[in-house]
Structure 1
């Protein structure tokens, strides 16, 4: 693994390091190659925002973020295995998902086997991965509460292969684990998040969404620095990365952030919420809605009339405040985590649960892993094409025969 020199990006410090390829081994488990027009490269960086302090710690500490940047690469280059996650993080996930909480058969070494099929960024030059300095629009992604951004890397790389630069952002202390460049960790704050008091839980969720919104804006500010952006993306044109014409999608609390940020961040033109029960700014307490395009994507049974966690139908409240283009789709045979990499990773590892009790614990449905990946990335891609490129699609107008699992609730 290579560590570069530090780069100062006002108002924080950005540290870049590149992923390294895995050695080939018989036990290696390769996830599918991204299916779009392009191969995909990956850079990983740590960002420190010294202008804000971490709200989920008693000690004063600046907010430290880890991001993954997936960018399109010419098919002239060969793909190679790239670790799905660092070995230390993989071991933590092994223990977590094989615990009594979930009961999956994932002994030590399970997730360390998993690899993405990407192009090694160390072998790219400025013209190798971007024909005629073509600009690839920037897309922001945030994960669900309690789930590392790394469990969405297959989805992110698939979207990147469609011609987008996709940046996934971890939110320390409300995802399960964040591993920093120096080997230290930030773990999920169970003390805060396990509150049984409804008012306290809602206040924590609001704070988490507000913090994530600040994280997104800080990442956009950082990527506006040409030197920093070019250190992450070797194929970037001399003009740098366009951070003023972006879109955002997210899962669960990440999807909530994609909604709440729309009216406070002019650089984000539209948002997509994958199965997140909407809380936070813009929903409860101070509804402001948006005229920007917004899409709700729910698991089986999760729609405008069934989303009532507090117990108010937050999707219905948000829906009434959406004054522009909007869609609500529901995907049959899915659970909450079918909008992550869980289905495809578990399927490739051969640990896909079949016992209904375990399925319910892991929150995935009966849809096969590759089909879940195809469905999610196809509809996310169609939405992004509409928002960023103005491209219409029958997929967004109603049911299509290619995806009978998808129904429209609008």
Structure 2
């Protein structure tokens, strides 16, 4: 079979990695004012350079910065957009099945825009560290910019005058993300991923019921999200791959949503024009493969290896599940990855760095057996 060298690759990753101890120490020192921002950045640069070498040694065909400059996978990006403000709160609207992350909400203070976003400089630094080796950049999906304040926070959402008409809000989200796509492309990015927990929530029967009881038209929201995503993807150059990762929660190896893809499969998998879908399939909470029948001609990256726990999956069992997925998507359009990143927040999942790399190695071994890469 072909080497499957175009992104996503036969064996791939979602993006985040466990933060080294000295990086966690430096971030804590920065918070307390014991080191400067420049000193923190120097530690981040060193740790990312070391991570890149480990990613290359692991055989990954595109490397990330591990999200080492972030505290959380999504808020660090969203709060730096123009017209967006983060509000720390003890009232966290997402109930994780275990430890709870720091609570936060977003509100709009003016017209949303990309501006001189720091993630552009972060990516430029990654490119400088990496050289000519392929890179992957991850940012939160545009859906998250609406979901957090307008769906999760609907009860207290008070739109500014500009966004009294919600369509104007969606139009500004499209323009902002189109600017982001172009800006990352101009910096050399050819592999961009939108991370998204909204679809995981919309798969959950209990959450769907709660949202509907709150007066939210979920069918309307999901269609609008896909229309927004597709409008953004119109700005994608022909030689740029844009994928999405659907997540049900990953904070410190826990989760907050459960349910198969059936409720969103037709709208998302059958309607969104992403180049590929990274889909969690590490537990039965994600349901079966039948919803994959809605996928058009895109790639599906099966998240069959968990990033939450150190125990290694049985290779033959994972291969059997890939063969099962072939009933819905041909093998040449299937790929393999961990189900999520290893550190969606700076706290990280409940496994060691060595165990993290053992998971990556397992994904590679299985992919080489299946696709003969």
> TM-score normalised to the size of structure 1?
0.35
* Higher relative contact order (CA closer than 8 Å, sequence separation 6+): 2
**Whose helix proportion is higher, 1 or 2?**
2
TM-score normalised by the chain length of structure 2: 0.38
